[in-house]
Amino acid sequence: MAAKKEVTNGVEWRIKVADDSSEILVPEAKPARDVLLGLMFFIEGLAMKVWKFLQQAWELGVDDPRKVVHCLKVGVALTAVSLFYYMRPLYDGVGGSSMWAIMTVVVVFENTVGATLSKSLNRVCGTFLAGFLALGVHWIANQSGETFEPVIVGAAVFLLASAATFSRFIPSVKVRFDYGAMIFILTFSLVSVSGYRVDKLLDMAHQRLSTIIIGTSLCITVSMLVCPIWAGQELRSLITRNMDKLADSLEGCVNEYFQEGGSLVERNKECQKKLQGYKCVLSSKATEESMANFAQWEPAHGRFNFGHPWKQYIKIGASMRSCACCIEALNGCINSENQAPEEFKKHISNISLKVSSNSSSVIRELATTAKSMKKSSNMHCVVGEMNSAVEELRANLKSLPSLFNSPLMSEVEIHENKKIEPASRTMETMPDLLEIIPLVTSASLLIEIATRVNGIVDAVEELADLAEFETASNEKSTKNELSNHFLPDQQKDNETTKDFQPV
């Protein structure tokens, strides 16, 4: 009631001012109603925003229930680590340092096992290294008397913190040990500076390290045992999903151009989304790289062994992006204003459709290979079909100019274009090349796309050899010989992978 009165007073005051300046009589009740209305609108707007936010969250959860599971896992881990506070014997064991266990769980628990492992190991190693160094610095500072102690500690903190911060800029450190470097700076500063005030420094350091180890082990256990999300599997499914998208948009793009008589045809939303699939491929570089990085921290799981060549997936992604770039250019070409006459289109329509559908089949076959981790038995077959279709398209393009001078553009002649009378052909009736440029460009880009699809095939075959994919049952034995040639390479790769593993 008091609040309402205040509002009314404020309104009265405003009315007075209005009276003074413009002398318009305003009914007393109206502004109060206006204020209430405004407040209602505001609350309504806020409620709408909150509602939309919740709706978005709900859709996200329905879309990928594993995200919800991850949240529950975090909740479980945090509640479990809280036991250190609730249970007297546990609390007596580590005391106030339980805080560090909670902090570790919050900071280290990530969505995928690889990310959690990477952060955990970084945290433990960074803490251990920094604590060790800080104790050394503290001991030296302690020996040099009370006046010099802060100076020595301060200088050490300044130098090591600067150096460690700089190391975070170096790419090789940044990719893998960024978090470790940060934890190093943190622990070193805390321990060496605390040494000035805290007496039992060694006890503190020991307690902190042990609680951090407790926290990280809890995180690792929960993330690996309860519905684990492996970065490696995520990476593979991202790549295969992107392959399917690439195949869909390539096929859709070419179909739309040749079958439906141009790009001006109304597209429905679903179809439009399918056509834009290549854009996902173009923008997934960062995700792929971080996934591959996390996957390297993961132990053997499912059908991935420890030295699985994760970096090869990045190469596959790169070759897919180069292919997607061409599809983007093709899309631009197809949507351009200048369109080739239908007659010319029809001339290469069938073969273009064949090239695009064959290329899509190849990409889908590659997706199946990556999904099943088995060398496809008919890969050579579909690649061969694609390449022969490309050759056919080349041949058709070659015969395209003969269409210009044909007297009757009847369908029969288009298909049997070599039966045109030579007499009708003169120099004066040379074709308007401009008309068929979009068509030639599209066809040429289609050929280029097929070339780049071959690049993806090479990358996936290299993966199959490096990761020793099984050969599908009806496969000829020649392939096994091929994989033996790659063995030295594979060993090298395994060694490189091991080099990067934390010791």
Q: Does 75 bind a second copy (CB under 8 A)?
A: yes
Handedness of CA 367, 274, 388, 451 (dihedral sign): negative
Q: Which of residues 179-198 bind a second copy (CB under 8 A)?
A: 182, 185-186, 189-190, 193-194, 196-197
Handedness of CA 310, 312, 318, 320 (dihedral sign): negative
Q: Which of residues 283-302 bind a second copy (CB under 8 A)?
A: 283, 285-286
Q: Does 91 bind a second copy (CB under 8 A)?
A: yes
Q: Which of residues 315-334 bind a second copy (CB under 8 A)?
A: 321-322, 325-326, 328-329, 332-333
Contact by Cβ (8 Å): 138, 192: yes
Q: Does 311 bind a second copy (CB under 8 A)?
A: no
Q: Where are the beta strands (DSSP E) in 129-251?
A: none
Q: Does 161 bind a second copy (CB under 8 A)?
A: yes
Interface residue with a second copy among 9, 33, 56, 500 (CB under 8 A) is 56
Least separation, in Å, of the C-beta of 8 and a second copy?
A: 28
Q: Does 157 bind a second copy (CB under 8 A)?
A: yes
In angstroms, rounded to a whole number, what is the distance separating the alpha carbons of residues 207 and 197? 17
Torsion of CA 106, 107, 109, 114, to 10 degrees: 180
Q: Where are the beta strands (DSSP E) in 341-461?
A: 374-375
Contact by Cβ (8 Å): 393, 446: yes
Interface residue with a second copy among 440, 468, 472, 486 (CB under 8 A) is 440
Residues binding a second copy: number (CB under 8 A)? 91
Q: Does 244 bind a second copy (CB under 8 A)?
A: no
Interface residue with a second copy among 50, 433, 482, 487 (CB under 8 A) is 433
Least separation, in Å, of the C-beta of 239 and a second copy?
A: 18
Interface residue with a second copy among 36, 37, 43, 71 (CB under 8 A) is 71
Interface residue with a second copy among 22, 147, 268, 426 (CB under 8 A) is 426
In angstroms, rounded to a whole number, what is the distance separating the alpha carbons of residues 20 and 34? 21
Q: Could you say which DSSP state residue 268 is in?
A: P
In angstroms, rounded to a whole number, what is the distance separating the alpha carbons of residues 336 and 135? 69
Interface residue with a second copy among 425, 472, 475, 497 (CB under 8 A) is 425
Q: Could you say which DSSP state residue 226 is in?
A: S
In angstroms, the Cα distances linking 241 to 136, 278, 388, 410, 449 are: 52, 11, 27, 44, 19
Interface residue with a second copy among 358, 441, 454, 471 (CB under 8 A) is 441
Selection from 228, 195, 187, 227 nearest residue 211 by Cα: 187
Per-residue x/- marks for a second copy, 391-420, CB under 8 A? ---x--xx-xxx-xx--------------x
Q: Does 92 bind a second copy (CB under 8 A)?
A: no
